[in-house]
């Protein structure tokens, strides 16, 4: 397989970008010809960002799994599609060739169908990082069902919220998941979630950890038993369901500035074309190479750059079940050497956590197969960038700093490995099809270079968010109303003298903790669930490893006894309501919160205090009771 649309020089990038914005239809129409369609599209693009209403490849019909699997079989059937490395280094790894993956996806598509799943049904997938997770995702796409993968770290309550929002009647899960030294009882979390979701008809459970589970008669079935039923039928291939280009492919929930996560919806064709295009171009993938994206498939990075991007390109995608620091901090490097990984795509937080172990874990590792390094999820600091470059890439591997979001489906701003220039801590230039701009708070475009502002995008790329599930108005309000006719990213950015972009972080009430997006309002809601809590306010503060830590100011009614114990109670409440990823790092008990006369919490002040600034807190005269500020500053937690 070669990629006729792979850009191989800076000049080719410049001309592709120019063409893509002058004639998006001509540009993307050409790229899309390299995919397998049941019916060709009538129109490449029609759109407005007011409603918003965006349609790519209208009239086209396809099934994404034919592009990820079937079309590779003849020539590349024996190529590895997925290499899986288990959590425990002593357990055997697995390799699934395209042929084998195709077989397993077809088998499981039958299982889904036999259990009642039909086109358009929502299927929630809550599993650890095992090949069956990718198989379940692809099998949903094969039958035309809409998958909604939920990261294994989310709590029963979070799952229930998402199941209800999507009205998902089917669930695929595991008995448990291994993650480092832990064994997470996934099925029992699902059982707790389902108390609030009586509409769920079927739960299919894969055996991974042999953790005891309770199976509810009529609702729960074992994956293995269901596969056995298909085997006795002789394993016929499952005819891929023909989808409209704009039919939804999946929902993925993500946090915003309100208390309720949004179900971001992506559509079949545009998402396929764009994830493939960006995979091939950003990483400069060469057939036969091993691509290792360390994300979890529960996040968008895993969807786009473990599953759909690489597989649609016939690539070899490495999936890792464990964590970078277990059993020791050399785990990534061992995996790179074991499978001769060529592309390593990870998050700044992982790099920083490995840096903290010093150079010892890198000793004796070859890392000579590496050709390209990538980062995603949060701004990378200079120190982490240099460390990655020097000690992992041996100054020999371009680093791609890829900026994008759940809502964008694929990378929007990034250098292309070895093809376009890179600059430490800069995502650099927009990919073809992407027109970024900076605006001030009044929505005026900020032109020229060496400027900062709010990052917007002017026109649609093929994998732009189509809607938020069940609530189109919310999509309009969240992304398309702050600045008329523009997509607003929620990020701030600067543009340097060369026109390179550097993303500085969120400008809304969304935190980025270890590369995970968490809404402050969500954490506050969870804290407020604790019986003794009167009110709370949550802000982010700089954290050496996590990028941002969570600082909570809490008004507690009648504190009896141990503050530390109360802190632990509150933390475990958050863990139960959202999941361990949202646990506050610091909880300060306060008597009051700085509020304006209209009752709005002045987070700017709380943020400053959390960051360590206790003197210059700006104008506090508009506050209802300015004296609370001094009390809060005095009680600031330093550890
Ligand atoms: O703030 C930006 C940050 O992560 C946010 C998107 O989070 P999520 O939807 O969970 O997707 C993460 C993986 C694509 C963005 O709004 N972000 C992501 N990549 C970068 C980044 N910030 C700086 N540099 C990046 N490369």
Q: pLDDT tens across 69-90, in order?
A: 999 999 999 999 999 999 999 9
Which among 485, 345, 624 is positioned nearest to 51, based on CA atoms?
Answer: 485
What's the pLDDT at 293?
98
- Residue 529, pLDDT > 70, answer yes
Strands (E), 233-356: 243-244, 248-254, 262-267, 290-293, 316-320, 343-346
SS3 for 375-408 is: EECCCCCHHHHHHHHHHHCCCCCCEEEEECCHHH
What's the pLDDT at 517?
93
Residue 210 sits at φ, ψ, to 5 deg, of 60, 25
pLDDT band per the 50, 70, 90 thresholds, residue 620: confident
Give the chain's domains with CATH numbers.
Answer: 510-634 (3.30.300.30)
Q: Are 174 and 152 in contact (CB under 8 A)?
A: no
Between β-strands 243-244 and 61-62, what pairing exists: parallel, antiparallel or unpaired? antiparallel
Strand partners of residue 502: 494
What's the pLDDT at 622?
81
What's the pLDDT at 499?
97
What's the pLDDT at 1?
58
State pLDDT tens for residues 444-464.
Answer: 999 999 999 999 999 999 999
The radius of gyration computed from the CA coordinates of the chain, to the nearest angstrom, equals 24
Which among 101, 126, 11, 29 is positioned nearest to 433, based on CA atoms?
Answer: 29
> For residue 490, which atom of ligand 1 is closest to its CA?
16
State pLDDT tens for residues 158-179.
Answer: 999 999 999 999 999 999 999 9
- Residue 235, pLDDT > 80, answer no
By most ligand atoms within 8 Å of CB, the mutation choice from 300, 380, 403, 492 for ligand 1 is 403
Question: CA of 525: how far to CAs of 153, 195, 530, 578, 582, in Å?
Answer: 18, 21, 9, 10, 12
Query: Ligand 1 centroid vs 507 CA: distance in angstroms?
Result: 12
Q: Are 361 and 339 in contact (CB under 8 A)?
A: no
> For residue 504, which atom of ligand 1 is closest to its CA?
23
Query: Ligand 1 centroid vs 506 CA: distance in angstroms?
Result: 9
Q: Are 436 and 501 in contact (CB under 8 A)?
A: yes
State pLDDT tens for residues 93-124.
Answer: 999 999 999 999 999 999 999 999 999 999 99
> For residue 379, which atom of ligand 1 is closest to its CA?
23
Query: Ligand 1 centroid vs 1 CA: distance in angstroms?
Result: 31
- Residue 639, pLDDT > 80, answer no
Answering whether pTM is above 0.95, one says yes
Pocket of ligand 1 (CB under 6 A): 254, 300-301, 376-379, 401-406, 427, 489-491, 503, 505-506, 512, 517
Count of CB atoms situated within 10 Å of the CB of 255: 24
Between β-strands 220-222 and 202-206, what pairing exists: parallel, antiparallel or unpaired? parallel
Question: CA of 418: how far to CAs of 286, 316, 394, 400, 629, in Å?
Answer: 13, 21, 15, 9, 51
Strands, sheet with 501-506, edge to edge from the N-terminal-most edge strand: 436-439, 451-457, 487-495, 501-506
pLDDT band per the 50, 70, 90 thresholds, residue 518: very high
Query: Ligand 1 centroid vs 411 CA: distance in angstroms?
Result: 10
| Tokens 């390299």 -> residue | 34
Q: Are 174 and 140 in contact (CB under 8 A)?
A: no
Q: Which helix (H) or strand (E) holds 225?
A: helix 223-232
By most ligand atoms within 8 Å of CB, the mutation choice from 252, 262, 301, 377 for ligand 1 is 377
pLDDT band per the 50, 70, 90 thresholds, residue 614: confident
Question: CA of 153: how far to CAs of 193, 374, 548, 578, 580, in Å?
Answer: 13, 24, 18, 9, 7
- Residue 516, pLDDT > 80, answer yes
By most ligand atoms within 8 Å of CB, the mutation choice from 512, 514, 546 for ligand 1 is 512
Q: Are 182 and 159 in contact (CB under 8 A)?
A: no
- Residue 421, pLDDT > 90, answer yes
Give SS3 for 102: helix
Between β-strands 146-149 and 170-174, what pairing exists: parallel, antiparallel or unpaired? unpaired
What's the pLDDT at 615?
81
């Amino acid at each position: 397989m070669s990629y006729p649309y792979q850009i191989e020089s800076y000049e080719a990038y410049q001309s592709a970008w120019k063409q893509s914005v002058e004639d998006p239809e001509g540009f993307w129409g050409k790229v899309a010809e390299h995919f397998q369609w049941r019916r060709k599209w009538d129109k490449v693009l029609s759109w407005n960002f007011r409603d918003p209403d965006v349609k790519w490849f209208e009239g086209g019909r396809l099934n994404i799994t034919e592009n990820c699997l079937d079309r590779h079989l003849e020539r590349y059937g024996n190529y590895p599609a997925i290499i899986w490395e288990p959590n425990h280094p002593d357990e055997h790894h697995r390799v699934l060739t395209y042929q084998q993956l195709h077989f397993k996806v077809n088998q499981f598509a039958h299982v889904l169908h036999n259990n009642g799943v039909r086109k358009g049904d929502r299927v929630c997938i809550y599993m650890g990082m095992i090949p069956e997770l990718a198989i379940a995702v692809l099998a949903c796409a094969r039958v035309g069902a809409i998958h909604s993968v939920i990261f294994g770290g989310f709590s029963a309550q979070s799952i229930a919220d998402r199941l209800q929002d999507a009205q998902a009647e089917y669930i695929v899960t595991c008995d448990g998941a291994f993650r480092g030294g832990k064994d997470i009882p996934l099925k029992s979390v699902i059982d707790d979630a389902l108390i609030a979701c009586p509409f769920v008809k079927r739960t299919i459970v894969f055996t991974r950890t042999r953790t005891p589970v309770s199976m509810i008669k009529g609702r729960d079935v074992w994956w293995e038993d269901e596969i056995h039923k298909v085997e006795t039928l002789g394993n016929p291939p499952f005819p891929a369901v023909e989808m409209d280009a704009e039919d939804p492919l999946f929902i993925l929930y993500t946090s915003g500035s309100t208390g309720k996560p949004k179900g971001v919806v992506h559509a079949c064709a545009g998402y396929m074309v764009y994830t493939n295009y960006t995979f091939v171009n950003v990483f400069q993938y060469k057939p036969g190479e091993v691509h290792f994206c360390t994300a979890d498939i529960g996040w968008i990075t895993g969807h786009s750059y473990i599953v759909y991007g690489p597989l649609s390109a016939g690539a070899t995608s490495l999936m890792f079940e464990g964590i970078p620091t277990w059993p020791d901090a050399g785990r990534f490097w061992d995996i790179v050497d074991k499978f001769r990984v060529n592309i390593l795509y990870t998050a700044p937080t992982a790099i920083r956590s490995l840096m903290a172990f010093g150079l010892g874990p890198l000793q004796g590792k070859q890392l000579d197969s590496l050709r390209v390094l990538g980062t995603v999820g949060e701004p990378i600091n200079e120190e982490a960038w240099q460390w990655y470059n020097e000690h992992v890439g041996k100054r020999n591997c371009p680093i791609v700093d890829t900026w994008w979001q759940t809502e964008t489906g694929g990378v929007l701003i990034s250098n292309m490995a070895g093809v376009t220039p890179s600059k430490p801590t800069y995502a650099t230039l927009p990919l073809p099809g992407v027109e970024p701009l900076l605006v001030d708070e009044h929505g005026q475009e900020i032109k020229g270079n060496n400027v900062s502002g709010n990052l917007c995008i002017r026109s649609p790329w093929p994998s732009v968010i189509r809607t938020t599930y069940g609530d189109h108005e919310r999509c309009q309000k969240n992304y398309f109303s702050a600045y008329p006719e523009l997509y607003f990213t929620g990020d701030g950015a600067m543009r340097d003298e060369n026109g390179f972009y550097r993303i500085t972080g969120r400008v809304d009430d969304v935190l980025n903790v270890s590369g995970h997006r968490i809404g402050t309002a969500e954490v506050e809601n969870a804290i407020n669930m604790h019986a003794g809590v009167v009110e709370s306010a949550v802000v982010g503060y700089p954290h050496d490893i996590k990028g941002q830590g969570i600082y909570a100011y809490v008004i507690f009614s009648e504190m009896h006894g141990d503050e530390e114990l109360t802190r632990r109670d509150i933390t475990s409440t958050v863990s139960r309501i959202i999941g361990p990823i949202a646990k506050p790092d610091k909880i300060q008990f306060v008597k009051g919160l700085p509020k304006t006369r209209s009752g709005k919490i002045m987070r700017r002040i709380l943020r400053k205090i959390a960051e360590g600034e206790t003197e210059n807190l700006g104008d506090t005269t508009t506050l209802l009771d300015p004296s609370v500020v001094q009390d809060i500053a005095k009680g600031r937690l330093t550890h």
